[in-house]
Amino acid sequence: MMNIFNYFKRIGIDTVDAAFYRKIAEWISWYRGSVRGFSFYRVYTGRGKYNRCKRKSMGMAKKLSEDIADLLLNERVTITLSDETTHNFVQQVLEENRFLVMGNDYQERKAFTGTVAYIPYLDDMEVTEDGEILSGTIQINYVDAPNIYPVSWNNARVTECIFTFPHTVARKKYVQVQSHLLENGEYVIRNVVLRCESGSPEGTELSEEEWKQLKPFKTLAKETKTGSADPQFVIDRLNITNNADESNPMGLAIFANSIDVLKKLDIEYDSYCNEFELGRKRIFVKPELLTNEDGSPAFDPSDSVFYSMPEDDNNKEGLLKEVDMSLRTEQHSKAINDDLNYLSLKCGFGTDRYQFGGSGVKTATEIISENSDMYRMIKKHEILLEDAMKQLIQIIIRLGIVLRNPLNLETDIVIDFDDSIIEDKETERNRDRQDVSMGVMSHAEYRAKWYGETLEEAAKKLPEQNQVME
């Protein structure tokens, strides 16, 4: 089986320690609800045999990831650029690449792996013999953590990186290895295609002529000189200090430090469910009632309700004996709710975020104050997300300029996150109105924010509005 780290070692590339990617694999297993050494367990039957049982899961790793993704990037998030032409161009590219849909998906992936990446690139290019690009379309590759390998970084910002893209062609597995490295102060993008073969731990490297014969790599360029000192990739991570490896620029899953609580919750929930299975009524029957006169079973042998009494049992309770088990549902529910509060607190949502009842786990919908744990947690993650989104937009603009579009790279970029869940919008709007009246905020800025217009569009509409007011 191929191991990408063997290939990196062969070509002399250092990246994050392989042990960290085993942690990522563990976080993914919790998200999927299939954890090695935990999701299945054995129960002794009392007859020298064991039954293999699947542990019932509450799926809280998945729930936490969904919730943080919905809070960070949803359909109400707006991107506004001060230059109207540039704004329209960027919006078109993002729409063509389904950024809000894919963006939300990858925010969820970021939540359970810690890190994702976005790589804008030019596709279907028409290039002259001199290397001049005449036309093309801007596409975005979305990459998740198991396929991101930082090479160099500074102050937790990744400056050089390698990305892998697995493909299957005619039942054969291939991996595209794409490196973004600095050479003489400019980024150079190189591609290599490896064929994964049994007995080859580092894969077999294909020539450019060989991979051009395969459909996924038909238009793949071996080398691209960007001519820019700015990277053509964006690393997006959760704003959580990596206490697994402090020198590591990769992010942590939102529940990375709460695995023990996830385990405890699933154990409690499995016990809760088993309580109803094990606590069912039992009916003990005298042996003489187990068969009919013709020798056929009087009861279904697979029915766990009926049990045979010992033949030497001398009880005086008759041929049938009922046993009703007591259910400890209240104790289980309390334990689960206590740990849900603890999990929520450890993951930054504060307490009382999740509540366990008869219908499962519910999410609290009460108004969240600015002083709450959840508000501060969301604002903290928005810092890195805003930076990542601005980097992505700037790369799109640079690629648009390469395609000879009249774009402004210096345009102001405003990311307005949807804080309606954690912030009263009407209160915020009234506060902005006061800022306008005091001259702290301009009328154009107010219109741009609350009417979804660019600053240029808002400025054009103001004179008409003033005339009406007069």
pLDDT at position 467 over 70: no
Mean predicted confidence (pLDDT) in 94-103: 92
The percent of residues in the chain predicted with pLDDT above 90, rounded, is 52
Give the pLDDT mean for 362-381. 72
pLDDT at 271 over 70: yes
Helices (H), 186-311: 208-211, 259-278
Nearest-angstrom CA–CA distance, 51 and 67: 36
Q: What is the Cα–Cα distance from 270 to 445, expressed in whole angstroms? A: 54
Q: Of the segments 49-53, 59-63, 305-309, which one has the largest average pLDDT value?
A: 59-63
Cβ–Cβ under 8 Å, residues 418 and 74 = yes
- Averaged pLDDT for residues 252-276: 91
| Interacting residues of 391 by C-beta distance below 8 A, sequence separation 6+ | 234
Query: So where are the chain's domains?
Result: 4-257+374-423
The larger pLDDT score, comparing residue 198 to residue 334, is at 334
User: In percent, how much of the chain has pLDDT > 70?
Assistant: 79
The answer to whether the beta carbons of residues 2 and 196 sit under 8 Å apart is yes
The tokens for 437 are: 């009246």
Q: CA–CA separation, 463 vs 128, rounded Å?
A: 48
Q: Does the pTM of the predicted model rise above 0.85?
A: no
Question: What is the per-residue pLDDT for 356?
Answer: 81
Q: What is the pLDDT of residue 454?
A: 79
Average pLDDT for the chain: 84
d(CA 272, CA 266): 10
CA distance 54 to 71: 32
Q: For position 373, what pLDDT does the model report?
A: 84
Residue 452 has pLDDT above 60, yes or no: yes
pLDDT of residue 51: 79
Lowest mean pLDDT among 20-29, 135-144, 215-224, 271-280: 271-280
pLDDT confidence tier of residue 468, bands split at 50, 70 and 90: very low
Contact assessment for residue 339 and residue 268, using Cβ atoms and an 8 Å cutoff: yes
User: What average pLDDT does this structure show over 275-287?
Assistant: 63
Spatial CA neighbour of 60 closest among 92, 30, 104, 38: 30
The two structure tokens encoding residue 441: 């905020």
**What is the sign of the dihedral through the CA atoms of 123, 126, 129 and 133?**
negative
pLDDT in tens, 311-358: 555 555 555 566 555 666 678 888 999 999 999 999 998 888 888 875
Task: Give the model's pLDDT for residue 294.
Answer: 62
Q: What is the mean pLDDT of residues 287-301?
A: 59
Q: What is the pLDDT of residues 455-466, one digit of tens each?
A: 888 888 886 544
First to last CA, the chain: 77
Q: Is pLDDT above 80 for 301? A: no
Q: Residue 416 has which token pair?
A: 């307005």
pLDDT at 405 (0 to 100): 92
| Closest to 67 measured CA to CA, from 32, 34, 111 | 111
Higher-confidence position of 124 and 41? 41
Q: Is the confidence at residue 141, as pLDDT, over 80?
A: yes
- Give the separation between CA 103 and CA 440, rounded to whole angstroms: 33
Cα separation, 400 vs 407, whole angstroms: 7
